[in-house]
Structure 1
Amino acid sequence: MARRISIISLVILVVIQTAMANIPSANEFFKKNINGNLTKITWKHAVNSKPLLIEALASATMMLEADVVLGNLTNSNVTKIPIMAHPPNETSSLSLDEFLTFVLKNRTKGIKLDFKSIEAYTAGLQVLEKHTSNLTVPLWLNADILSGPVNASVNVNTKPVNAKQFLEDAKKTLPQSTLSVGWVTSYKANSTGNYTSAHIDEMLKTLKDSNVTQTVTYPVRAAFAINSIDTLKTLLEKSSNKSATLTIWSAEEDVVDGKKLSKLINEVGSKKVYVDVPEKVWKTLDLSKGGASYASSSIALSIISTLVVIFTTRML
């Protein structure tokens, strides 16, 4: 009887792994467009509503980032489900289920889901499981799982998502997704700070303790990352997964020194750095070692894109 149960369990495991085997990495999925240069991958940030989703699907943008919280759908009695919204918002015109349905039908965009709480993550994984057979595009699971700069544990109301549960549930449910794991940060006008050796040591230990073998990218805030070049290079060097990368991001209100950010990207290398920053920051970059330019990363919508908008609007 015990042997029979073991065989059944093995079969179930094989079925699950087979179903997940079609999730590509961003580098693989967009390889014809980027030729190994990750800075050429373009981003649409905070795709948290139906109008923004329509716009993003019609654009040349490669990766769509969206925030997931538990909340309510507008003009609906449906409550406390995974929706696309950024705290403190708890209502949205777009649910996670709808977001996935339309992005996966499009088949040309990668997905980065930023989970704002462990509760949203747990519920979100259940929604993702429904779409397993259609997951043929890059899928990133993002969360701030540790406290980072500057005095983030004191100054920020948002707490890190439970690291152990986040990592282990991802391994069980979506083992071929990319883990985007970072630090909660606190930023005020012209803040100065950096990622320290303690920050990266804690991250490496956290991943090791959960036996993480998935592809990993570390999201780092540009305003602090530019003061942490050697530390972040050490983070990548010490990562057990040698395909580990950085994802440099910046909020609209952040003040970022373009020369320092260019130096960081050029020193780490375009094969190791994704760049998700606002237009005003992009325009200050000089990626002379093969990185993308802002012009090449901001392709205007074509007539075809306009038709896609009309078609997608009708579908939504």
Structure 2
Amino acid sequence: KRPASLIDFKNVSWRMSDHTLRYFSLRHGRRRDAADVTWSHAVNSRSRLAEALTGPTHMMEADVIIRGADPKEPIMAHPPDTDSDITLKEWLEALGGSDKGVKLDFKSLEAVSPSVVLLEDVYRSNRPVWVNADVLPGPGGLASPLDPLAFLSSVSTLPPHTVLSLGWTTGWTAGTDNAGYSWDMVRTMEEICRALEHPVTFPVRAALLAASFSQLSWLLQQSDRYTLTVWTGKDDKFPAQDLLAYKANFDSSRIYYDLPKSQIRNLPQRGLYT
């Protein structure tokens, strides 16, 4: 008998509360496979924005902080940068009639509330909007997470189809036995998310997944609002086979792969179980 942690998710019918896949299926004729969704990263400047808007990717990811000097307003930058050539307001206005989805990664709490106000006009296009923050300490994480209750309070007025991307601070060191996501980590995250009405995706580090299958399987079982978004650090090393159990045992609509194209092409196609 298969252990409970290895339930065959491919044979379970899930209610798709996250409209990201429905949106891109409608516009691009895609299957309901989250691996088809492609990403532009660090769209934090005018030049990167212009490139992303005319490129083939579906989702544009950018970092939001408060400018380090006056005027204090949300800008597109990743610490340690404190300034940028484009504000969040200008960035959102530049979206115009494009069909791109948006993922905003918040690096400080003070940037969240003024950014939420600016997002109002974006929703008129029905485009997917994700808001991301690391809200709990995770395996090897050294950075301080944002306070989860304060972050969730700040984004609580966003429309119900907004995807809350809630992650853990993490670290990874080559040549060592890196720990995965622990039971305490996933249970604490589930307690935070249990009462939410928004769809939630959990960004999880690819190099830590082999040691975390039971924990993340349990987490996804707790609600059909939950998905995973697999990402990688630029220097992380992991074999594609580490993703085999996830690819084989989870419905394809429940795992996004925010990975380089070369790693997407190497995703395993066959499963451990039939």
TM-score relative to the length of structure 1: 0.74
2:230 counterpart of 1:248: yes
Name the counterpart of 2:148. Answer: 163
1:260 Cα deviation (Å)?
1.1
Name the counterpart of 2:34. Answer: 38
Distance, in Å, in 2 between the alignment partners of 1:176 and 1:279 is 28
Question: In 2, are the aligned partners of 1:190 and 1:254 still within 8 Å (CA)?
Answer: no
What secondary structure, in the 3-state scheme, does the structure 2 residue paired with 1:69 have?
strand
Question: In 1, are the aligned partners of 2:112 and 2:154 still within 8 Å (CA)?
Answer: no
Q: CA RMSD in A?
A: 2.1
Q: Residue 120 and residue 190 in structure 1: after superposition, are their counterparts in 2 closer, same or farther (change >3 A)?
A: farther
Distance, in Å, in 1 between the alignment partners of 2:198 and 2:91 is 24
Q: Which has the higher helix share?
A: 1
Q: 5+ unaligned residues in a row in structure 1: which ranges?
A: 1-23, 290-316
What secondary structure, in the 3-state scheme, does the structure 1 residue paired with 2:252 have?
coil
Distance, in Å, in 2 between the alignment partners of 1:285 and 1:173 is 34
Letter in 1 for 2:246: L
Distance, in Å, in 2 between the alignment partners of 1:69 and 1:135 is 24
Q: Residue 30 and residue 132 in structure 1: after superposition, are their counterparts in 2 closer, same or farther (change >3 A)?
A: closer
TM-score relative to the length of structure 2: 0.85
Distance, in Å, in 2 between the alignment partners of 1:238 and 1:215 is 13
Name the counterpart of 2:250. Answer: 268
1:187 Cα deviation (Å)?
2.2
What is the percent sequence identity of the aligned residues? 34
2:193 counterpart of 1:207: yes
Distance, in Å, in 2 between the alignment partners of 1:266 and 1:100 is 38
Displaced runs of 4+ in structure 1, greater than 4 A? Answer: none
Name the counterpart of 2:8. Answer: none
Distance, in Å, in 1 between the alignment partners of 2:159 and 2:82 is 26
2:124 counterpart of 1:139: no
Q: Residue 286 and residue 48 in structure 1: after superposition, are their counterparts in 2 closer, same or farther (change >3 A)?
A: same
Q: 5+ unaligned residues in a row in structure 2: which ranges?
A: 1-17
What secondary structure, in the 3-state scheme, does the structure 2 residue paired with 1:108 have?
coil
Question: In 1, are the aligned partners of 2:62 and 2:103 still within 8 Å (CA)?
Answer: yes
Q: Residue 136 and residue 233 in structure 1: after superposition, are their counterparts in 2 closer, same or farther (change >3 A)?
A: same
Name the counterpart of 1:277. Answer: 259
What secondary structure, in the 3-state scheme, does the structure 1 residue paired with 2:132 have?
strand
Quick one: which of 155, 159, 166 aligns to 1:181? 166
Name the counterpart of 1:60. Answer: 56
What secondary structure, in the 3-state scheme, does the structure 1 residue paired with 2:219 have?
helix
Question: In 2, are the aligned partners of 1:34 and 1:41 still within 8 Å (CA)?
Answer: no
